[in-house]
């Protein structure tokens, strides 16, 4: 699975982190970091993360 976060849109809300902590993290500087090619087993969690992003910045490009 391929995940893309539009970092122009992302405002570091961090909501995605609660849904898929294996994939999304807020680093010490307060900015989002993420795994771009997570295991397919995490698909449901990543879909949930994309749903809860207030900026709708996360896309899943299979």
Partner 1 sequence: MPTSSQTAPGVVVVGASMGGLRAAEQLRAAGWSGPVTVVGDEPHMPYNRPPLSKEVLASDVTHPAVAFRARASTADVAWRLGTPVASADLAARTVTLADDTQLPYTGLVVATGIRPRRLPCPGPVAGRHVVRTLDDAQNLRAALRPGSRVVVVGAGFIGCEVAATARGLGAEVAVVAPEAEPMTRPLGAELGAALRRRHEARGVVFHLGRTVGHFSGIDAVTGLVLDDGTALPADLVVEAVGSTPNTAWLDGNGLDLSDGVLCDALLRVEGRPDVVAVGDVARFPNARYDDVPRRVEHWSIPTDTAKRAARTLAAHLAGEAVDGEPFAPLPAFWSDQYAERLQSFGAPGLGVDDIRLLEGDFDADCVVGYHAEGRLVGVVALGGGAAATAARYRGALV
Contact 60, 48 (CB under 8 A): no
- Does residue number 3 form part of the binding site for ligand SF4 (CB under 6 A)? no
> Binding-site residue total for partner 1 (CB under 8 A)?
18
51 binds, among partner 1, ligand SF4, none (CB under 5 to 8 A by kind): partner 1
The three-class DSSP label of residue 25 is strand
10 binds, among partner 1, ligand SF4, none (CB under 5 to 8 A by kind): ligand SF4
Instruction: Give the Cα separation of 51 and 38 in Å (integer).
Output: 17
Residue 38: other Cβ atoms inside 10 A: 19
Site for ligand SF4 in 33-52 (CB under 6 A): none
């Amino acid at each position: 699975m391929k995940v893309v976060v539009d970092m122009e849109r992302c405002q570091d809300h961090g909501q995605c982190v609660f849904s898929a902590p294996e994939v999304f993290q807020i680093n010490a500087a307060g900015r989002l970091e993420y795994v771009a090619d997570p295991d397919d087993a995490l698909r449901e969690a990543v879909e949930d993360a994309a749903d809860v992003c207030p900026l709708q910045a996360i896309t899943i490009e299979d």
